[in-house]
Structures are given as C-alpha cells and as structure tokens.
Structure 1
Amino acid sequence: MYRADISGREEGSTMLEIPILGLLSEAPMHGYELRKRLSALLGTFRAFSYGSLYPSLRRLQEAGWIDEEDVPIEEPAGGFGTRSRRGKRVYRLTAEGKEHFAALLAEVGPDAYDDEGFGTRLAFFAQTRSDIRLQILEGRKQRMTEQADGMRSSLARTRERLDRYTLQLQEHGLESADREVRWLNELIETERRGPNPSP
C-alpha cells in the first residue's frame, strides 16, 4: 500500500501531510502542540501514531514545505527568582508549503473516499473549493452506498445461518452505513444550494 513516488513521498503519506500542513497553515506550532492537535483531529478516523509524526515533519522539511526554528523560552530556574532560557522547536509553513497544501486539497482520488482519507479531507473542507467538496462527498456516498448494498445482500443470504450476536453486529453495521448515506445526501444537498441557501 505504501510506496515511494518520484518525489520521494510515500503513497498514503498524503493523508498525514494534509492535516500537518493544514494545522500549520493556521499557526506555527511546536511538536508537542502539533501532536496534540493531530491526535484530537484524527482520533475519530484513525489510530494516529506519534512515531509517524517526526519522520513526516522531516520529509515535509526536506521538501521545503515547512521550516523550523528554535524559539527561546524563559522559564523559572529555581527558588532564587532567576530565569533560564531554553529553545523550543517551532514548525511553520513556507510559501511553497501553502501552495502544496492547496494542491493537495484540490486532488481527488480513491483515497479521498475511504474512512481515513475522507475524515482527513472533511476536517479541512472550509479551505477546500466547493466543486472539490462536492466531488469528495459524491465519491464517498457512492462508496458507502455500494458498501451498504453489499452488506444488505450478504445479510439476506446468510441471515438464517447467523447466531443472534453476529446478526445484530451485521445489522448494526448496515444501519451505520445507511445512516452515513443519509447524512451525505444532506451534505450534498446543502453544498449544491451554495453558501447562502434561501430559507
């Protein structure tokens, strides 16, 4: 699933690039703050690995999309009221990084429709063009409709052979898929009406 392309980026790493660049487009952050924000942002959609953050930051820095600087911070040094200074590494988006982030948001492929990709893209919909948002929502709706249809068909064939717990689990999965399709239909309808729909 992961392979390096000619730019040196691993396929699949885009889904971590988007939230890192997106958060840094809001404000420069040090690593710990960025890690907390990413965990809160992605926690619903993926098991965010802290070990993947700093290699990703290094790749983005090598590509010229972010840079870093040590910002001195004053802290109390002890009981004598003196203060010591230590550096804190702060990451910020470069001009090239802003362009790259905009280009990533404009890309639409199959990974934008899966659970992780869709959740990541949805988190930055406010910064995404309306036509791209609509494409992603339509693609996700098709993916979830096919998934729900497959589950419904499988359930119809195997219902009599399932124990009640497995049956309840599969019915719950089908209900969740159907509920997401309804939600996506609402989002698509709102998107088509535009930013200022009439009452």
Structure 2
Amino acid sequence: MYDARAEDARVLELAILGFLYEQPLHGYELKRRVAHLTGHVRPIADGTLYPAIKRLERAGWLGRRTEPGSRAAPRHTLTLTDDGREELRRRLREADDVDISDENRWFTVLAFLRHLQAPAEQADVLRRRLTFLREPSSFFYDYGTGGERPLGPEAFDDPFRRGVLTIARAASEAELSWLTTTLKDLETR
C-alpha cells in the first residue's frame, strides 16, 4: 500500500542529503533550498524538516558542528558524513519506480544526479525515466471492450481536459528530447 507520508519523507531526505553533499548548511538555509526545490508542491514545515534531519543524524549520515552566531545563540551547521555521501549515491542509483514516475520526485532525483560520478550510472537512471515516458499513458482513458486505451487531447470537446493533455504532451516531448540528447552525451564519455 502506498504511504504518502513515508514517500514524502523519502524525497525530503533525498533533498537534504543532496544539498548537504554540495556544502555544509545551517538548518534555515537548508530549509530554504529544499523549499525552493520541492516547496511549490507542499511547503516544508519545521515539524517535517527537523525530524528528518534527526533521522539522518541517527543513521550516521549527517554531522553537526556548532559555531558562534551573530547574536548570543550559537548556530548549528549540518554536514554530510562519508556514509551520508554514499547513501545519497545509493538512493540516486536505486531510485524506485515512484522516484522515476512521479514528476516532483523525479525532479529531486534529477537535481542531484550529477553526484553519481560514473556517466554509466547516470545514464542508467535516465534510461529508466525514458522507458517510463515511452509507455502509453494519459490522465483519461477509454474503458471500452478493448480494455483501457489512453485518450489524447483530440478526444475531448472540453477545452480544459484538452488543455491538461496538450500541456502534458508538450512537457513529455520536451523531456524525451532532452533525455535522448543527454543519454547520447553520457554514452560518449
């Protein structure tokens, strides 16, 4: 059964690991970066971010160092441990089907995919997304006697459903083009 809360926590943890792979950050700076990447979907609450940070610390993937603050309170800087770096790379290499198929989760994977050092590993993840995008799909289906058949924008008089499908098709075509070009580039490295 799909557990939305657990899946949200997984993508949040991936974003935390990814941003800290790039540089140590204070909690509020990390929150701002995560919100810019994923917050357009759902804002990041302190009650979500800080428990995720604690989980990653307990797992040994994050460290914390205290620095003097500009005021009286000290500031805590979060850092990624060597084990945390490997965990990020593992999660990127082993992105699951939902990471590949859900657009928001995919963008989080894609934002940090450069941290996989081997072009072949990067290409493997991109090929999985390419395979997913090439599968016939739609938001709307004909459930006639022939089974489920995806419907395109031309099947609707409703301008709003046509709009949904036209926009989705254009985005999909742009992504397919980008994936094909990027895979060719990675295969020559």
TM-score by length of 2: 0.78
Match of residue 112 from structure 2: 124
- Provide the rounded CA distance (Å) in 2 between the counterparts of 1:92 and 1:31: 10
Match of residue 185 from structure 2: 190
* 1:131, distance to aligned residue in structure 2 (A): 1.8
**Percent of aligned positions that are identical:** 25
SS at match of 2:3: coil
C-alpha RMSD of matched pairs (Å): 2.8
SS at match of 2:114: helix
- Provide the rounded CA distance (Å) in 2 between the counterparts of 1:92 and 1:146: 40
User: Is 1:155 the counterpart of 2:152 in the alignment?
Assistant: yes
CA change 1:136–1:69 in 2 (3 A) is: same
- Provide the rounded CA distance (Å) in 2 between the counterparts of 1:39 and 1:187: 27
- Provide the rounded CA distance (Å) in 2 between the counterparts of 1:24 and 1:53: 14
Runs of 4+ aligned residues of structure 1 deviating over 6 Å after TM superposition are 149-152
**How many residues of Structure 1 are paired with residues of Structure 2 in the alignment?**
177
| Structure whose CA Rg is larger | 1
Letter in 2 for 1:111: V
SS at match of 1:86: coil
Letter in 2 for 1:35: K
SS at match of 2:74: strand
Alignment of 1:1-199 (within 5 A): 1-2=2-3, 10=6, 13-43=9-39, 46-50=41-45, 51-75=47-71, 85-114=72-101, 115-128=103-116, 129-147=118-136, 153-155=150-152, 159=155, 162-194=157-189
* 1:183, distance to aligned residue in structure 2 (A): 2.0
* 1:52, distance to aligned residue in structure 2 (A): 1.9
TM-score by length of 1: 0.74
List per-residue Cα deviations over 1:32-87 (Å, max 9, x = no partner). 1111111223346x434224211110111111211223322244xxxxxxxxx321
* 1:122, distance to aligned residue in structure 2 (A): 1.1
- Provide the rounded CA distance (Å) in 2 between the counterparts of 1:181 and 1:32: 36
Q: Is the 8 A contact 2:17 2:88 kept in 1?
A: yes
